[in-house]
Every structure is written in structure tokens, then in C-alpha cells.
Amino acid sequence: MTKDLDSEQKFSRSAYADGPRLLADIGATHARFALETAPGVLRAVRVLKCDDYPGIVPLLHSYLADHEGIRINHGAFALANPISGDMIRMTNRDWQFSTDEVRRELGLSTLLIVNDFTALAMSLPGLSGQDLMQVGGGAPAANAVVGVLGPGTGLGVSGVIPTIDGFVTLGSEGGHMNFAPADEREFAILQFAWKEWPHVSNERLISGPGMEIIYRALAHRNGVKAAPRTSPDIISGALEQHDPLCIETLECFSGMLGGAAANLAVTLGAFGGIFIGGGIVPRMAEWFATSPFRARFEAKGRFTDYLAQIPTYVIMTPNPAFYGVATILSEHLRGRSGANTLMERVQHLQHELSPAEQRVATLVLEHPRKVLGEPIAEIARLADVSQPTVIRFCRSLGFLGLADFKLKFASSLTGTIPVRHSQVRVSDSTHDLSAKVIDNTVSAILKFRDQLDVVSIDRAIQLLRKANRVEFYAMGNSRVVALDGQHKFFRFRIPTASYGDSHLFTLAAELLKPGDVVIAISTAGEQPELLAAVEAARTAGADVIAITGSKSALAKKASICLAVDHSEDSTTFLSMISRILQLLLIDIMSVGISLGAAEEGEPDKRRLLISHLDL
């Protein structure tokens, strides 16, 4: 599309009230750009070569130079790279950049950057029959998981999970799984690749550069002298010149891709289908339809019938990642409920805030990820305000405090889903069981974070700040948590004791006085001795903070319950994750006590080596 024709489109008259949206699909070789002027309507599509630019900012300025008169507020980029945090270092290019710095450089209110195959996966629900070419049989199941992979400069892998209110994409680096040969020929190719790399992933062979390695490996195996060819040359050599070595290369390549697609299908249970994207397969689509791909896909032994039900498609529409990244941006801007994003709320309410609160708002708008990652003391320092001002800013926006604000703010800035629970099995290797234990714990912590009762935690911190004495009561596995709490609180110069002997609970509780606090810790919350001690403490006038299940007997007897409702079979297994969640509550209360002391001008009295503080 020419610049003159672009001008005639009058992008400023976008169907979006805040103007057209900048979309980009940036790979290792090419960067594709477009302006979305209405849902699904792309204008000014342009392809630039990444080699022509020293970094992402000059690349963006080159595209935007043709649209200087158009105000662009929101952008979303798909990037052929893992995405984690604000700083991005590209794998296949010597580029690195800060998302926030790029956003400010372009003058955008919103800039989302997601993995390119996350974007491609998000485009799949919107593709129709004319966008796809089915290879082989099978029919998609309704509301089923979908898998996507695509060879290009690398091998992208992702998936789409249907939910009650839309779709969720999986952030994945599945292209780096080990390559598994299926026959002697593929093993010979693997041995050839081992001469160059000690670890050969699927991406090393099932990609454009990988096709070139397959070509060289087959030439070596067949005793043929062959001049080096690029992957486009190999494809044209097979389809146009009917070169035997090129044809064998494509056959190997398509078979390997079929094996990788089958592994993805059984891993995800992808009865919604497996979709092949990337820039290579569409170039040989007609040949690919009768290639070894589908036969290899179904060659799964006992699971042949399972895979025969799953359809496989080649994505034929150009620039599908645009539609995926546009969907992600649209959902980000409107939220699931149709409300404005939190960033927009801050912008709209900024003029109604006090001058000090406006400085916090400016910090949030200019450095959103820094606000997410820093403690309240650092946020206050960066905004040049007091810590209570930060809290007032959060409450002015309708949140309970900084923690509540960060939870909602984080969900509006990210798009991938956390890991899920995986059962450890007897047959697992040490690597697998280590990964599962860590993933299960991370998943539980994220769920716990989203369900925190901030009001109860705040009340507990207020009690502890004023406590004359704090005693910890716990039995069994929770005893370790109690000892950790005693160690931390004692360093705040709070008279502290810990009891793990059920015979001493009630005796200790009867000696308490008003102004004293008991922290009772129990996973089940049903031990009779602990319940009796809590009753005695309440009778003596002390307050009781229970760290236990929200429905337990202990929770009902306590002054405040800090709920840990993670379900574990404590009759058979040690309560591993519940213990970690209990320890987190101890840490949260410890940091809360330190903040209170700092606000009261007593930093040396109670702020002792708390790692989350930087005052």
C-alpha cells in the first residue's frame, strides 16, 4: 500500500475513539507493521528488514515516519523471543531494550509485548475455513484445547485453552525440547548435528536453518557432493527442479514436523486441532498436503486412533499474528468486564488527586513495572512523597492499599497464565520431580496471592505493632513456622515465646494479659489442646491470630483468621506447600511491623535486616 493511498484512508477517523492502534510482528529477519483502525481492520501494512536497523527504536521510527500526523495511543508487539519482565534481550538478534523506555520514546499510553507464538495462538479462534488448509482427516471438538507450532527462523510452540469468558494462551518455549529421531535416517541426521551442538533441540532441525542442516546431513549420509543451499533454495529445488536430495530433505523435514506436532497434541490433549504456522510450510502447501507429515503425525503406536481424531491445519492467511496481538491488546484495554484499563483510570483521575498523590500517579504511568516490583519505601522515594501518601493514592482509586492495587495492576499488564498443579509420580526422574515440586509451589503461591484477605492482614499487623507480648502456639509440622515467627519477632525487641508442647499451651495462655497476642498455627485447626489454649487466651483478655483453614474450628475461635486453604492430604503426606504459605504470612506480618516502626520514626527499634525493605 503506497503512502498516498494510506493518507486517503484517513486513519485519524479510526473506529476506535482513541485513534488507531500500532501492531507489530517482529521476527529475527523481518518486522511487520500495521495500524488497526477498527476491530480486524488493518491498514498501512509494511514489512521491514531487521538487518537494516541497529535496534528496535530506529525500526519503529522508520515505520512511524509515514504517519507523523496520526496520534497513536496504544500498541502491541509480537516478538520472536521469550518475554519476561520489562527488559528484553532478543535471542536471535543483538538487540535489547526496556518496554517502558520504548513506550515513552513513542509517546504511547499502552505498550504490550508478547511472544510471537502467544499472539499466533490467540489468532486461531478467529480464523475461518478460507484461512486454513486441512492436512489429513479428523474433526475439531467443540471447546477443546488447540495447539500451534510453526517453523521459521526458529520453532515456535504454543496452545490455546478455552475458558468461560474467552481464551487463554500458553506461554511456551516448546521448540527447545530435545529432538527425538524416529528411524535410522533421522538418527544419522541427529549424529551429524551433534558435531556442531552438544544439545540438539527440535528447533535446531525443524526450522529454516534446520532444513539446511538436514540437507547437508543427507548429502553426507548419501555420499553426495552438494553445494550449500538456503531453505528457500531447497524448497524450490524440490518443487521446481525435482532435485532428489532436496525432495528427500523436504520429506525428512515434514516427517520431523509431524512427529513434533503429534507430541504437542498428546501433551495438550489438543482435540481442537493442531495448527501449523510460520513462514516455511505455506510456501510448499500443495506438496505438504501429501507429504509424510500426516502419516508421521498418526504413527504413535497405541495412540494412533487417538491422534487420527485430531485435525491438522496449515495457516494460509498472511500476518495472522496481527489478529492475535490485536485481540490481546483489545482485551487488555477493555478488561474482561468492559471497563477501562487501570492505567486509563489513573490518567482520568489524576487531576482529582492531591499534588503529592499526582506524583505517585505520574510514577505509575511512566514506570508501571517498577511500581509493581518495588516496595512501598522505594515507591515513595521515587515519587518524592511519604509512604502514607502512596497508601492514600491507592485508596483514592478504590483499593484497600498498595498490595490490593498491585494485584489488580499486575493482572492488567501481563497476559500469560501461571503453571498448574502436576502430580509427582514414582517413575519421575529427579529433574521432573524437581520441576513439579517447584511448579506446584509457584502455582499455589500465585493463587494464594490472588486470594489474600488484605483487610485481615492489616488488622493483624495493627495488633502486633501494639502487642506487649507475642506467643506462638503450634504442633507438628507447623512448629517450624512458629519457630521462624518467634525468631523474626524477637529481633523486633518484642517479648516473644514459642510453645510446641500441648501440655504447656493452656498453662502459658492462662498467664497472658490484655495487650498480649497469640499466633496459633495449624493446617487442620482441629487439635483439642490448641483449641483449649486459644479459649484460655481469649478469656485472659489476649487477642488470637490464627493461621489456619478458613472453615476450621480454630478460625472460629480466633480474633483474626489469616486463611490458608491449600488442600493437602496431611494424613499421608507432609504438608509442604501449606507450610510455605504459612511462612509467607509470617513474612508479610514481619514486613508490616517494620513499616509501622519506620512510619513512627523508630527505624532502629524494629527494622532489623528485613530483606523486602529498602529505607
Q: How confident is the model at residue 418 (pLDDT cuts 50, 70, 90)?
A: very low
Is there a contact between 603 and 597 (Cβ–Cβ < 8 Å)? yes
> For cell 521432573, what's the residue?
432
Cell numbers representing residue 201 in the block = 533441540
> For cell 518496554, what's the residue?
99
- Among 75, 83, 86, smallest CA distance to 110 is for 75
Sheet of 543-548, strand order:
496-499, 469-474, 516-521, 543-548, 560-563
What pLDDT sits at residue 8? Answer: 38
Per-residue pLDDT of 208-230, as tens digits, reads 899 999 999 999 999 998 888 99
What pLDDT sits at residue 293? Answer: 94
Cell numbers representing residue 453 in the block = 484477605
**DSSP structure class, residue 281:** G
HSE-CB at 319 with a 13 A cutoff on CA atoms is 24
What pLDDT sits at residue 9? Answer: 45
Per-residue pLDDT of 47-85, as tens digits, reads 999 999 999 999 999 999 988 888 898 999 998 887 877
For the ranges 316-320, 434-438, 474-478, the lowest mean pLDDT is seen at 434-438
Per-residue pLDDT of 278-336, as tens digits, reads 889 999 999 999 999 999 999 999 999 999 999 999 999 888 889 889 988 887 776 43
Give CA torsion, residues 72, 131, 124, 290, to 10 deg.
-140
- Among 220, 280, 210, 287, smallest CA distance to 247 is for 287
What pLDDT sits at residue 89? Answer: 87
Whether residue 413 has pLDDT greater than 60? no
> For cell 479462534, what's the residue?
125
What 3-state class would DSSP assign to 327?
A: helix
Is there a contact between 604 and 582 (Cβ–Cβ < 8 Å)? no
Highest mean pLDDT among 41-50, 116-125, 168-177, 342-351: 41-50
Q: Which residues of 155-185 are buried (b: 16+ CB within 10 A; e: fewer)?
A: bbbbbbbeeeeebebbbbbbbebebebeeeb
Instruction: Name residue 161's beta-bridge partners.
Output: 168
Q: Supply the mean pLDDT for the chain.
A: 83
Give CA torsion, residues 293, 296, 300, 306, to 10 deg.
30
Whether residue 603 has pLDDT greater than 60? no
Q: How far is CA 533 from CA 507, 576, 582, in A?
A: 8, 25, 20
Region 522-545: what's the mean pLDDT? 93
Those residues with Cβ within 8 angstroms of residue 45's Cβ, 6 or more apart along the chain or in another chain: 1, 32, 33, 34, 319
d(CA 313, CA 311): 7
What pLDDT sits at residue 127? Answer: 81
Those residues with Cβ within 8 angstroms of residue 224's Cβ, 6 or more apart along the chain or in another chain: 218, 245
Q: Is the pTM of this model over 0.75?
A: no
d(CA 544, CA 408): 30
Q: What are phi and psi of 572, to 5 degrees?
A: -110, -35
What pLDDT sits at residue 86? Answer: 80
Q: How confident is the model at residue 27 (pLDDT cuts 50, 70, 90)?
A: confident
- Among 403, 487, 480, 453, smallest CA distance to 558 is for 453
The 10 Å Cβ neighbour count of residue 422 is 15
**DSSP structure class, residue 201:** B
Per-residue pLDDT of 132-166, as tens digits, reads 999 999 999 888 899 999 898 888 888 888 765 56
